[in-house]
Amino acid sequence: MESSELPHDTSAKGDSPSNTVPYRPSTPVAQIEHNHTLLDRDQDRAAALAKVQSTLLSLGISGWVENNHTRDEVRGPLRKDMDESTERMPLRLWVSAVLGCPVDRVQSWVDTFNKERLCEDDIIGTSVQAYLQAANSEREEALYQPFCAMANRVLEWARDHVPGLPTYPIPDLLFVRNDPVVVDNGREEGDNRDADCKPDIVLISQTTCNDLENRPKYQQAPPRKRHKTTGVDWCDIFSLLELKPFPTSRRAAYLVGLIAAWSSKVRGEEPLPAPSLVASGSRPQRPTPSSLQSPGVPLLSEPGTNSNRLKRKPEPFVTEGANQSRKRPRAKRNYLPEIYESDYFLSEKCSVAKEFEDHMARYALEMLSCTRGTRLFFFQCLVVGDIVEFWYCDASGFVRSYQISWVREFDKFAAILVAIACCDYAHFGLDIPNLSPPAPDLNPSIPPMSLTGYSTTMRHPTLDIDVKVTLGSEVFTQYSLVGRHTCVYDVTTEPPVSPDPLVIKMSLQSVCRTPEQELLALADGFPVSEHLPKAFMWTDRATEWRLAHGVRGLMFLQNDEDETYEERCQRHIVFKKYKPIESVISSSNMDHVFNQLLDCLHELRYEVNMLHRDISLSNLMYEMRGTVVWLILNDFDLATRLDEHGRPLGATGSHRMGTLPFMSVDLIKHPEMLHLLRHDLESAFFVALWCGIRLPSGQKIDAARRDVLLSWEQHGLNAILKAKAQIFANSDSFFQLVPGEIPISPEFCQYEMWFDGFWKVFFDGYQKLADHHRRLAVIQRDLRVKRINENQAEGLIKAANSKFNFETLNDAVTYTKIKAALESCKPDLATYVPGFVSEM
């Protein structure tokens, strides 16, 4: 097996990318031999892989839609997360903070590489030459193998020639070609909820490479599909690189300049600046094979270019970006710079560049969501031609480095590769604080597949004793990029604290919000507490670990700027284990379940003075009390206390409130508005409608129902808003929406009258809100035509707003009206579970 390529069956026929023979240097020196001892894989590996096949993950909506999570589906929410939660940072600070490598040490490596003439190494020279040759074509896959050969040779060369270089903590790391292999995320066979992610190059251990062909998924795959199946899991990957070819526009002239710069570097001359872009209207000539010559051979000037260019020496690593602001002015943002600089930016106006960013965001989403709680953060690299940008991602968003040219500043890039190889588990985000591994002598070359077997110690609040909590099987992992990254595992306790099954909820919570356990304690003594989860033990690790103690703190301390990222701490809570409501809800009990939900929301608001603010399918659980399905309203992470005027007490965090497919139309349209009880009630309506379209579980849905559900989560917020707003705007009756826009499942056809009553309440409310907006528009029109002055307009608007009740939309959306509407048109069922809240 090639050390720089994942194993796959090249005998498969068809148009698969694997049929294209990747570049393999013909010279013997290019076949990299790794002299380090390969560590044996644990015998439990196969068992661990098989155990996580039953993992339940969530896309916020519990992943009910059977889809492939392609780029188009997740692009909207990911794009919003990127736009709201992305920072830029000078490369020297990024390397120091993320990789934990001091700047002066990296600079010493740069000086060593330059002094020892690393660029003259045969393998590196052959690989760079092949990379530039491949870059002249449109075959992206031809770039992978030369880049892997170059990067692996840098790590090997540095280990043998750099004095004082510490031993690599993970001794057998390799840059390995992955594309066209789809990374396995541990879900059940046949579950198509995952994205088909195929990172170009992954950083994994040689031990993992040797074990891939022995994995059950590879052996069970048909031979014709093995070229896309190796069983590599997201947990196996330490980091990854995404390679993209040079842009077609102006590629020829720019590539010639790169070849000239590399030739000058190999000859020991100062590198040339990047060539000026060709004049508008002229057509660059395609480089000929003679111009793509060996690095050591002088390159003649391209016809029409100025051979007397000014030479510019690259700035040393320690001063790179020192005088650059993090939010650098971008008045001129060509994709290819006209002059050589030490930092580059991809053009925001270039649609191709946006697609590259989407790829990186999807990889970060999968890595943080499909590693079963084993990753706190993740870093990766985007390479576009010769331009390199490093990405760091955690629960608060992205931090992207300024960009460099790895060809023009090869010594600096090689030093960063060595710094990556010097990272330990903590710098790869694998060192989970406050959790002890099952064995202290775990093989460092084999990242953990899950947190099963890990343990922690918690203090019991009433017994006042320390309790050892040991994690068992994974129950739930939140599928999100920016947020809490919640993981739930079965647990056992020593000594036992309850005869009931228990789970531990581990999450990264905003420090400015009221902790969940305190909110649940406020409901003690009220009837609604019977429908809330029971917490046995909890601990906030704010003093032991928080984002400011790690990479984020180092980044913004060194950057010396007033940063406003959302600070988070680690929180552990041990709950009684409940079951998801979707596993039991049916036509015989759905009205009973939502009757209880409405009662819960009403009493929380008017008795406990609290709003849940995240009503979604995944947050509705149940337990059986006799023969009754007893609803449990779960997950109070986003809940808030209210004052006597219904306004939130204290800070509430910076991220949007709610699960997007179930959020109120009003909140999607105006995310800055105050969250009210009617928004939670509307979310309950959308959850009920979702169940009526999708359930029962385990049955494949038709295309019409699938398309409707996807429209609630697909694309951007504007598309979701349009799809959901049409439900209340384009019809006078709910029955006009069935089956066209709302194709109800045959299982719930008897609920059409029930849905009509539920829908009519919100339809009337939005009609009253539209009337109010029309009155305000008339005032604005009178102001524009100068019928009234600004003071009069302000007074009229203030008077109109004061007369309109926004919480109930002028008494159109209330708990009483919803209950009455549902009671009047409920299905004729044999049994009924009455609500526990009296009409108010």
The dihedral region occupied by 349, where left means phi > 0, alpha psi between -120 and 50, and beta the remainder, is alpha
- pLDDT for the residue numbered 344: 38
User: How far is residue 392's CA from residue 402's CA, in Å, rounded to a whole number?
Assistant: 12
Short-list 167, 198, 115, 142, CA closest to 414:
115
323 within some domain: yes
CB atoms within 10 A of CB 25: 18
Residue type for position 685: F
Chain length of the chain: 840
284 within some domain: yes
User: How far is residue 104's CA from residue 164's CA, in Å, rounded to a whole number?
Assistant: 14
For the chain, the 3-state helix, strand and coil shares in percent, each to the nearest 5, are 40, 15, 45
Half-sphere exposure at residue 746, Cβ-oriented, CA atoms within 13 angstroms: 4
First-last CA distance in the chain:
72
Question: What tokens were used for 205?
Answer: 């251990």
Angle CA 416–419–422, to nearest 5: 160
**Any idea what DSSP says for residue 529?**
G
- pLDDT for the residue numbered 76: 56
214 within some domain: yes
User: How far is residue 168's CA from residue 822's CA, in Å, rounded to a whole number?
Assistant: 65
Rounded alpha-carbon distances, angstroms, from residue 194 to 8, 91, 163, 177? 21, 33, 45, 21
Q: Provide the angle, in degrees to the nearest 10, between the axes of the packed helices 752-784 and 717-729.
A: 110
User: How far is residue 551's CA from residue 72's CA, in Å, rounded to a whole number?
Assistant: 31
738 within some domain: no
Cα-trace Rg, the chain: 30
Q: Determine the 3-state secondary structure of 328 from DSSP.
A: coil
Angle CA 796–799–805, to nearest 5: 135
Cβ atoms of residues 642 and 649 within 8 Å: yes
Q: How far is CA 650 from the centre of its chain?
A: 28
Question: What tokens were used for 816?
Answer: 């009483």
Question: What tokens were used for 756?
Answer: 């009509």
335 within some domain: yes
The long-range contacts involving 23-31, CB below 8 angstroms and separated by at least 24 positions, are 23/130, 23/134, 23/142, 23/144, 23/145, 23/146, 24/145, 25/123, 25/126, 25/127, 25/130, 25/146, 25/149, 27/122, 27/126, 29/122, 29/123, 29/126, 30/122, 30/123, 30/126, 30/127, 30/149
Q: Which residues pair with 242 in a beta bridge?
A: 382
Q: Which helix (H) or strand (E) holds 379?
A: strand 378-384
Question: What tokens were used for 351?
Answer: 């649609």
Cis (ω within 30 of 0) for the bond into 337?
no
Cβ atoms of residues 363 and 74 within 8 Å: no
Q: Provide the angle, in degrees to the nearest 10, between the axes of the packed helices 91-98 and 103-115.
A: 110
316: buried, middle or exposed (CB in 10 Å: 19+, 13-18, 0-12)? middle
- pLDDT for the residue numbered 804: 94
104 within some domain: yes
The pLDDT averaged over each successive group of 10 residues in the chain (840 residues) is 49 35 31 29 37 31 34 55 79 89 92 92 93 82 94 95 89 90 66 65 90 69 58 88 80 82 80 40 40 33 33 42 37 32 38 74 89 91 91 88 91 95 91 83 81 94 93 89 89 95 92 89 94 94 66 60 64 95 90 95 95 94 94 94 85 62 89 90 94 78 80 72 80 71 83 91 92 94 93 94 93 95 77 43
CB atoms within 10 A of CB 298: 10
588 within some domain: no
Provide φ and ψ at 319, rounded to 5°.
-105, 0
- When divided into structural domains, the chain yields a total of 1
**Any idea what DSSP says for residue 303?**
T
In sequence order, which residues have a C-beta less than 8 Å from that of residue 786 and are 6 or more positions away? none
User: How far is residue 154's CA from residue 119's CA, in Å, rounded to a whole number?
Assistant: 10
- pLDDT for the residue numbered 219: 61
Short-list 304, 337, 346, CA closest to 408:
337
Cβ atoms of residues 595 and 753 within 8 Å: no
Cβ atoms of residues 681 and 663 within 8 Å: no
Structural domain boundaries, residue 281: 85-296+310-421
Question: What tokens were used for 573?
Answer: 């809570």
Provide φ and ψ at 826, rounded to 5°.
-75, 150
Provide φ and ψ at 483, rounded to 5°.
155, -150
Cβ atoms of residues 754 and 826 within 8 Å: yes
- pLDDT for the residue numbered 445: 78
**Any idea what DSSP says for residue 837?**
S
Question: What tokens were used for 145?
Answer: 């193998």
96 within some domain: yes
